[in-house]
Chain A
Amino acid sequence: GNSVTQMEGPVTLSEEAFLTINCTYTATGYPSLFWYVQYPGEGLQLLLKATKADDKGSNKGFEATYRKETTSFHLEKGSVQVSDSAVYFCAPSYSSASKIIFGSGTRLSIRP
Chain B
Amino acid sequence: GAGVSQSPSNKVTEKGKDVELRCDPISGHTALYWYRQSLGQGLEFLIYFQGNSAPDKSGLPSDRFFAERPEGSVSTLKIQRTQQEDSAVYLCASSFQAGGYNEQFFGPGTRLTVT
Contact = CB atoms under 8 A, between A and B. Distances in A.
Contact of A97 (B31, B93, B100): B100
Given A43-B107, A43-B108, A44-B106, A99 B33 contact: yes
Contacts of A101: 45
A103 B45 contact: no
Contacts of A96: 100
Instruction: Identify which of A31, A42, A43 gathers the most chain B CB atoms within 10 Å of its CB.
Output: A43
Interface string A76-106: 0000000000000100011111111111110
Contact of B100 (A31, A43, A89, A105): A31
Contacts of B101: 32, 51, 93, 95
The range of chain B's interface size is 20 to 34
B109 interface: yes
Contacts of B98: 98
Given A43-B108, A98-B31, A98-B56, A103 B42 contact: yes
B42 A32 contact: no
B99 A102 contact: no
Instruction: Identify which of B33, B48, B101 gathers the most chain A CB atoms within 10 Å of its CB.
Output: B101
A70 B106 CA distance: 29
A73 interface: no
Nearest to A103: B42
B20 interface: no
Interface of B: 31, 33, 35, 41-43, 45, 48, 50, 55-56, 59, 91, 93, 98-109
Interface of A: 31-32, 34, 36, 42-46, 49, 51, 89, 93-105
